[in-house]
């Protein structure tokens, strides 16, 4: 029934999957999971590629974040995700941001409507680009965002972030 309702909503109101990736160490397994989920549920995918906080630059030197300004391997990685989405029939939008991982995800997700799932992929115990994404920062995300947050930390290791007393609940997929 929900799928039928989603089919009749205007394109910009359809639910989406947000994939937040640390572009310094992109998590291919998180991207794969997000594309599969979007394809299975017939949702579009929003890929937010986050770069670590840049070093301070002189006021005269401004850096515009774009695909052209990325390292070649980062552009290639994003291109592979775009190709995979095309193969799976998933509509994809790519945004590039720089800053603290959790802060950028929160800022971006608050500006979006209709996020059903937020998938964050980074290695280790909530590490992103060497910047810790603390448990309290993750819980703050959970309280402030409507979509379900899934942390993907490896192939087959998906954890659902819940708001139950700051506890993490996980399930392997």
pLDDT in tens, 85-104: 999 999 999 999 888 888 88
Residue 96 in contact with residue 52, Cβ under 8 Å?
A: no
Residue 141 in contact with residue 102, Cβ under 8 Å?
A: yes
Read off φ and ψ for residue 116, nearest 5 degrees.
-90, -40
Determine, yes or no, domain membership for 32: yes
Determine, yes or no, domain membership for 26: yes
Say which residue the tokens 């280790």 belong to. Answer: 124
Q: Which pTM was predicted?
A: 0.76
Determine, yes or no, domain membership for 138: yes
Residue 134 in contact with residue 126, Cβ under 8 Å?
A: yes
* Confidence check: pLDDT of 107 > 80: yes
Q: What is the pLDDT of residue 170?
A: 46
Q: pLDDT per residue over 116-172, tens digit each?
A: 899 987 554 444 444 456 677 777 777 777 778 888 877 667 878 764 434 444 444
Determine, yes or no, domain membership for 49: yes
Range of the domain at 151: 14-55+63-167
Determine, yes or no, domain membership for 172: no
* Confidence check: pLDDT of 32 > 80: yes
What is the C-alpha to C-alpha distance for residues 129 and 99, in angstroms, rounded to an integer?
Answer: 10
Determine, yes or no, domain membership for 6: no
Distances (CA, A) of 64 to 54, 96, 98, 124, 138: 12, 10, 10, 30, 28
- Report angle CA 86, 15, 52 to the nearest 5 degrees: 70
What is the C-alpha to C-alpha distance for residues 86 and 102, in angstroms, rounded to an integer?
Answer: 28
Determine, yes or no, domain membership for 9: no
Total number of domains constituting the chain: 1
CATH of residue 143? 3.40.50.620
Q: pLDDT per residue over 57-72, tens digit each?
A: 544 444 556 777 788 9
Q: Who's near 118: CB < 8 A, 6+ residues apart?
A: 17, 18, 20, 105, 109, 141, 145, 147, 148, 149, 150
Q: pLDDT per residue over 9-27, tens digit each?
A: 444 567 899 999 988 888 8
Determine, yes or no, domain membership for 2: no
What is the C-alpha to C-alpha distance for residues 40 and 21, in angstroms, rounded to an integer?
Answer: 21
């Amino acid at each position: 029934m929900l799928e039928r309702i989603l089919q009749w909503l205007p394109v910009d109101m359809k639910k989406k999957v947000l994939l937040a990736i640390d572009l310094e160490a992109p998590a291919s397994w998180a991207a794969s999971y997000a594309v599969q989920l979007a394809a299975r549920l017939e949702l579009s995918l929003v890929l937010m590629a986050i770069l670590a906080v840049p070093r301070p630059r002189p006021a005269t030197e401004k850096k515009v974040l774009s695909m052209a300004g990325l390292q070649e391997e980062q552009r290639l990685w994003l291109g592979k995700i775009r190709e995979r989405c095309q193969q799976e029939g998933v509509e994809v939008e790519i945004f590039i941001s720089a800053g603290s991982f959790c802060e950028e995800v929160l800022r971006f997700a608050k500006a979006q409507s209709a996020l059903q799932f937020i998938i964050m992929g980074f290695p280790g115990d909530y590490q992103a680009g060497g910047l810790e994404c603390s448990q309290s920062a993750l819980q703050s995300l959970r309280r402030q965002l409507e979509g379900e947050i899934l942390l993907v930390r490896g192939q087959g290791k998906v954890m659902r972030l819940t708001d139950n007393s700051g506890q993490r609940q996980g399930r392997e997929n």
